[in-house]
Amino acid sequence: MPVAQAYAAAPAAWRAKKISAALQKEFPNPQTALHFETPLQLLVAVCLSAQCTDARVNAITPRLFERFPHAQSYAVAQEAEVASYIHSLGLFRNKAKNLVAMAKVLVAEYAAQVPTQRAQLETLPGVGKKTAGVVSMHLGGSLAFPVDTHIARVAGRLGLSQHTHPSKIEMDLQKLFPPQAWKESHLRLLLHGRHRCKAQKPQCEACPLSTWCPRQGLPRSTSL
């Protein structure tokens, strides 16, 4: 068996260490692409990014954040007005409805402040497990390894998880990466999926992870 194939067939825990080191070189200082300055802006931006690119969200949030600077302003707003600021995004009506409902809960139950713990964030309207994990992670709350479509795809192709449900994939990744590195590992896998291991036409020929990647679900023609 060629050396590369032997490495790709090695245990996931061993390969995860190699993958982590390679990604650290490729993305030494990973950052979220979403623009925000406050916890509320982060929460809103992550909620808006569902089924939408970060670039599109960043294009509309400056005006949105200026018009609605705090939770109270969202809480008393009409859904139609909020929708008018985000109409270029997918599912904008539902997102506007959730932003108003979420803000009302923040005002009523959290003194208009964004909670940092994942379990609390998950109780907010429109905030699912992935969104709560991302927000909590960036606010220094709960340790989390939230899984989006990019991370799910990369984890599967790398053979780091055999599952398809985000919660189960997250559990697998949490076992493979040290807790203190979850945030950076999350961001690096996301960036790798977004820029290199794309859903269509993955750049396997130039991938820094090719030595340790079994390319599960991909035809062998994509191998080196």
Catalytic residue among 95, 148, 172, 183: 148
The one-character DSSP state at 55 is: H
Centroid of chain to Cα 53 = 11
CA distance 224 to 215: 11
Cβ neighbors of 217 (< 8 A, separation 6 or more) are 156, 157
Catalytic residue among 95, 130, 172, 183: 130
Write the burial class of residue 101 (CB in 10 Å: 0-12 exposed, 13-18 middle, 19+ buried).
middle
CA distance 205 to 9: 19
CA-wise closest residue to 167 among 151, 181, 190, 154: 151
- 148 in catalytic set: yes
Please, are residues 9 and 214 in contact by the beta-carbon 8 Å criterion? Answer: yes
Residue whose pair of structure tokens reads 């007005």 in the numeric block? 81
Catalytically annotated residues: 130, 148
